[in-house]
Amino acid sequence: MNSAEAARKLGVEPASLSPAPAAPRFAETWKRMQKEPPCSACGQPSRTSSVIHEPAHGPRWFDRCRGCFLATPPTLPASPAQFLEELREAAADARMRLHTYTDESGWEGE
């Protein structure tokens, strides 16, 4: 899920969040994360920061602690199996040897 969906799932009201730059550079996000602002949902020290864009409120910082982040994981643009297939193809095209490792059961769907 994206950050706006995660905020809704966690019951975070965008109007309560701090204003943010529309497109922060990584350095700006990293600097914010180093300060460990309180999680937007539960108040614990945050471990990740992102920006949500709500039409009525503009860009807002959305900070999540480890627990809230794990409860609302980001959606991968491709399944792990699809990602590995594309990685293998790219390695073959570049004539590079590629070794991939997963746990004993592999990734779900692979």
Helix, strand, coil abundance in the chain, percent, nearest 5: 35, 15, 50
Q: Residue 83 above 90 pLDDT?
A: no
Token pair of 97 as six digits: 């040897």
CB atoms within 10 A of CB 12: 23
Residue 34 pLDDT grade (very low, low, confident, very high; cuts 50, 70, 90): very high
pLDDT of 76: 76
The whole-angstrom separation of Cα 52 and Cα 58 is 8
> Quick one: CA dihedral 30, 32, 28, 49, positive or negative?
positive
Share the mean pLDDT of the chain. 89
4-17: average pLDDT? 94
Nearest to 65 by CA among 84, 46, 81, 51: 46
